[in-house]
Amino acid sequence: MLNEKVTKLLNNQVNKEFYSAYLYLYFSNYYVEQGLNGFANWYQIQAQEERDHAMLMMQYLQNNDETVTFEAIDKPSVELTGNLSPLKEGLKHEQYVTSLIHTIYAQAYEVKDFRTMQFLDWFVKEQGEEETNASDLVKKMELFGSDPKSLYMLDQEMGARVYSAPSLTL
């Protein structure tokens, strides 16, 4: 059994990861409407990754004989305009998720839950990568997004992303 507060935070994080998947599918749908199918593909794969994160958290709770509790998933409330705003919202969201992971880590640290700290190490690293990716996308769009030819090429690049399963196994 895990510490009660740690368990509650991990359960909450399951919901947040599913929300992330929902948010990124919302971005994907938005880009479909913009005619940018490459960007839509990139966010669809991102959504798959977020679902994987939720699944890993659920598995971790279950491996420790804890109950997985589901809450309603919020409706994405961000307003999207133009081609840049989803990327900026994506970066903001990843920074927020990093803060959530750090809060769980801090709680695990406080109660000397070394197992959960080790489990979360992967997520701490993953969040670093997510923030870098999101920030790179914002920079690329700011640099090249206003030129139609460059935007086309950027969309091709985003369309080339393929899904790969998470490197963490439990």
Can you tell me whether residue 134 is helix, strand or coil? helix
**CB neighbours (10 Å) of residue 136?**
12
**Cα-atom radius of gyration of the chain, to the nearest Å?**
17
Instruction: Give the residue with the Cβ less far from Mg ion, 53 or 88.
Output: 53
Contact 27, 86 (CB under 8 A): yes
Instruction: Give the residue with the Cβ less far from Mg ion, 9 or 151.
Output: 9
Distance in Å, CB of 114 to Mg ion, minimum: 22
Distance in Å, CB of 87 to Mg ion, minimum: 17
Instruction: Give the residue with the Cβ less far from Mg ion, 18 or 154.
Output: 18
Output the residue with the shortest Cβ distance to Mg ion.
53
Token pair belonging to 143? 């640099």
Contact 133, 93 (CB under 8 A): no
Binding site for Mg ion (CB under 5 A): 17, 50, 53
Instruction: Give the residue with the Cβ less far from Mg ion, 17 or 155.
Output: 17
Distance in Å, CB of 148 to Mg ion, minimum: 33
Distance in Å, CB of 94 to Mg ion, minimum: 8
At residue 140's C-alpha, the angle toward residues 139 and 143, to 5°, is 85
